[in-house]
Amino acid sequence: MVLAILETGSAHGYSIIESLRRESSGLFDLPEGTVYPALHRLEENGLIKSTREMVEGRERRVYHLIPAGHGSLKESRASWQAFSSAVSRILVVNP
Amino acid sequence: MVLAILETGSAHGYSIIESLRRESSGLFDLPEGTVYPALHRLEENGLIKSTREMVEGRERRVYHLIPAGHGSLKESRASWQAFSSAVSRILVVNP
DNA sequence: ACTCATACTTAGATATACTAGGTATAGGCG
DNA sequence: CGCCTATACCTAGTATATCTAAGTATGAGT
């Protein structure tokens, strides 16, 4: 989901948290202790890159999607479709 | 998913693993070390009950869905619908 | 000056999935 | 009859992720 957010444009950690909250209508209200370490992992794994930038008169760590991250996002979308439809088939349709 | 399987009829651990594999077309090929402890947790939490029964000339631990598990399954279905549609909204629709 | 929202970081607790071993039995086959 | 395989169950230990809870810092508004 973080990669999907970044696909629509570079963003810093705090704004990613807000995007997830807003676009999920409040369902994904992720604490910072979840998102920041996740961003560090994504960067460590070479899927995103960060730069320190001045935004609105303030230093922020801005994350950018890089090609490997774009590819990973594409794979994640495919596996999410497979995963969620399998869960739905078992969980929802069964009775 | 285990509760959903049990809703269609009581079953023992090994057959639950097979059901999940079959109904997911092989996607959920869960190892025993995942499913057996999960069954123990579900029983500990009062959602299922087990009895030792002779099935096809062999002792098996057969699990049954009990009322609390039925209620929990209903809740799980609702929260899965909310969760998966939120993920899809963010992950799939975004671009 | 103070408070609040923004912004980032990380140590530790908790939970879960999986690995990798163990035990036991029924049935098929050479 | 002995052996192998599939079935059936169990659990200790490892790896990983989420979250809690703490800390630091700054800009804006009162």
Tens of pLDDT, residues A75-85: 999 999 999 99
Return the residue in B25, B87, B92 with the most chain A beta carbons within 10 A, the one to mutate for interface testing: B87
H/E element holding A11?
strand A11-12
pLDDT of residue B93: 59
Q: Which nucleotide lies at the shortest CA–C1' distance from B16? A: D8
Report the share of chain B in percent with pLDDT over 70. 97
Beta-bridged to residue A50, according to DSSP, are A63
Q: What pLDDT, in 10s, does the model give residues A22-61?
A: 999 999 999 999 999 999 999 999 999 999 998 877 889 9
Q: For residues A6 and B28, give the distance between their C-alpha atoms in angstroms, rounded to a whole number.
A: 30
Q: Among A77, A84, A91, select the one facing B77 at the smallest CB separation.
A: A91
Name the interface residues of A facing B (CB cutoff 8 Å). 1, 4-5, 7-8, 20, 23-25, 27-28, 76-77, 80-84, 86-92, 94-95
How many residue pairs from chains A and B have C-beta atoms closer than 8 A? 73
Model pLDDT, residue B8: 95
Q: Judging by beta carbons within 10 Å of its beta carbon (0-12, 13-18, 19+), is residue A89 exposed, middle or buried?
A: middle
Q: Taken in order A95, B5, B6, B12, is the CA torsion positive or negative?
A: positive
- The reply to whether B40 Cβ lies less than 7 angstroms from strand D is yes
Task: Give yes or no for CB of A66 within 7 Å of strand D.
Answer: no
Using CA atoms of A47, A52, A54, A58 in order, give the dihedral in degrees to the nearest 10.
110
Which region, left, alpha or beta, applies to residue A84 given φ > 0 means left and ψ of -120 to 50 means alpha? alpha
Q: Give the residue among A70, A72, A50, A76 at the shortest CA–CA distance from A61.
A: A50
Q: Residue B57: its pLDDT value, please? A: 76
pLDDT given for residue A93 in this prediction: 59
Pairwise CB contact (< 8 Å): B89 & A4: no
Residue B95 has pLDDT above 60, yes or no: no
Q: What is the predicted pLDDT for the residue at A95?
A: 44
Mean pLDDT of the region A8-27: 95
For the sheet containing B48-54, what is the strand order? B11-12, B59-65, B48-54
Task: Tell me the one-letter amino acid at B51.
Answer: T
- What local confidence, expressed as pLDDT, does residue A7 receive? 96
- How many other C-beta atoms are found inside a 10 Å radius of the C-beta of residue B36? 16
Instruction: With beta carbons under 8 A apart, name residues in chain B contacting A86.
Output: 23-25, 27-28
Classify domain A2-93 at the CATH topology level. Answer: Arc Repressor Mutant, subunit A (1.10.10)
What was the pLDDT predicted at B68? Answer: 96
Does the pLDDT at position A94 exceed 70?
no
Average predicted confidence (pLDDT) for chain B = 93
Closest Cα in chain B, distance from residue A60 (Å): 24
Task: For residue range B14-69, list pLDDT tens digits in order.
Answer: 999 999 999 999 999 999 999 999 999 999 999 999 999 987 778 899 999 999 99
How many angstroms separate the CA of residue B79 from the nearest CA in chain A?
10
